[in-house]
Amino acid sequence: MKLPEPQLPLTQEARNAFRIFRDRHDAGTRLAEHLQPYAARNTLVLGLARGGVVVAAEVAKVLQAALDVMVVRKLGAPNSRELAIGAVTADGGRYYNEALIRELAIPRAYVERVTGRELTAARRQEDELRERARPNVTGRTVFLIDDGLATGATMIAAARSVQARYPARIVVAVPVAAQAPCEDLQSEADDVICLLKPEPFLAVGLFYQDFAQVADHEVQALLRQAR
């Protein structure tokens, strides 16, 4: 899939990084090179569904680690569903961007309503993707992987969900991200690895030659292959 050239001015760093990854498999292979020093015995690699699982599968393969899926749903603002005011995980973990909620004067009733709707959707999606029980994370080094971070809301929710289950260590790792979420996640994880942090940050997909949507059956196939 050929992506359009960006229309906004880019710094030289962003020009050099633009479409740097062939696809999510390529991004995962490159990311894994930077994660080997963090690997430990009994490491677990969790990919955020759906696209993050493709990246995570390559990381798990290189590190010879267990692979599983983390289902997270973004909570969209009332008039802009793509603007994340928070996120929720299938196991009930959640994150709210309280500053943004106050700035947009979003009623608490809306926040509760969208949380309930997305939690139901996350649990339904997990039921479709998962063929066995959620893995135990207690005492394990856990890598949380996605194909990129724009706001970081889904990754913060994922990190908090894992942290509540007493891992030995959480490492957040992505191929490309905006600067702000990489900084925000420093307080949510033991280590944060963002290979590229271009400014200005336009969209995750602009740094991939192929950023096609990932289907449920592709995620299921990757999980089966890993097992």
* pLDDT, tens only, 204-213: 999 999 999 9
E strands, 19-137, are 44-48, 66-70, 72-77, 80-89, 94-96
Q: 18: which DSSP letter? A: T
* Residue 132: per-residue pLDDT: 86
Asked if omega into 200 is within 30° of 0 (cis), the reply is yes
Reduced 3-state DSSP string for 167-225: CCEEEEEEEEECHHHHHHHHHCCCEEEEEECCCCCCCHHHHECCCCCCCHHHHHHHHHH
Single-letter amino acid, residue 197:
K
Residue 3, Cβ neighbours under 10 Å: how many? 15
Q: Please give the helix or strand (H or E) that residue 35 lies within, else none.
A: helix 24-35
Summarize the confidence of residues 106-135 as an average pLDDT.
95
Q: What are the backbone dihedrals phi and psi of residue 205, each rounded to the nearest 5 degrees, phi first? A: -65, -20
Question: Which residue type occupies 207?
Answer: F
Share of the chain above pLDDT 70, in %: 92
Q: What is the pLDDT of residue 201?
A: 85
Q: What pLDDT sits at residue 16? A: 52
Residue 115 Cα to chain centre, angstroms = 18
For range 40-49, the mean pLDDT: 94
What is the rounded distance in angstroms from the CA atom of residue 88 to the CA atom of residue 147? Answer: 18
Mean pLDDT, to the nearest integer, of 137-163?
96
Contact 165, 137 (CB under 8 A): yes
Report CA-CA distances (Å) from 216 to 11, 48, 71, 140: 36, 12, 12, 27
CA 224 distance to own-chain centroid: 20
Q: How far apart are the first and last CA of the chain?
A: 30
Q: Are 66 and 43 in contact (CB under 8 A)?
A: yes
Q: What is the pLDDT of residues 59-79, one digit of tens each?
A: 999 999 999 999 999 999 998
pLDDT category, 149, cuts 50, 70, 90? very high
Tell me what pLDDT residue 9 has: 46
